[in-house]
Structure 1
């Protein structure tokens, strides 16, 4: 029973990803080459209804690459430092 509950929780957690606007756009925009522009990805994030869930996921899972919740890796690192 406990395993079933964990699986259900994982499914609920991942539900926000299905509603994310980035799932409907070019994934390469969210993982630009070093020094590449993040402008397009961040523009998509601005109007995304699950932006907060996305950022929370990235912070909790220590995502080191890409744009998550409208923030770059550097911006997420700064945010984490301020929270400590």
Structure 2
């Protein structure tokens, strides 16, 4: 579960970036894997999701949100859940935020 206590609040200006996302008209099944998905199907779906993120005008905002909220599932800002977990576990996010 995302840690909502880390989120900025309910003001619209904190969330308007979502309206400009390249994923806005793409089905969520591309970004969130079905139960039991493994192997090439999993890898291909993640790569397709990351390709959508690659040209997204709000990729940075999306990535920041996912890291701050500790989003446990899906591709956000071009990062998979495993990639986000590695960044957070390595303390890279906290070091960059403090700098």
CA distance in 2, matches of 1:13, 1:44: 22
Q: Which runs of 5+ in 1 are unaligned?
A: 1-5
CA distance in 2, matches of 1:45, 1:74: 16
Matched residues, number: 77
The structure richer in helix per residue is 1
CA distance in 1, matches of 2:70, 2:89: 13
- Structure with larger RCO (C-alpha < 8 A, sep 6+): 2
Q: 4+ residue runs of structure 1 moved beyond 3 angstroms? A: none
Structure 1 equivalent of residue 57 of structure 2: 49
Aligned Cα RMSD in Å? 1.5
Structure 1 position 61, deviation (Å): 0.6
CA deviations over 1:23-50 (Å, ceiling 9, x no partner): 1112110002343230111000000010
CA distance in 2, matches of 1:12, 1:19: 13
Q: TM-score of the superposition, structure 1-length normalised?
A: 0.82
Q: Which runs of 5+ in 2 are unaligned?
A: 1-8, 95-99
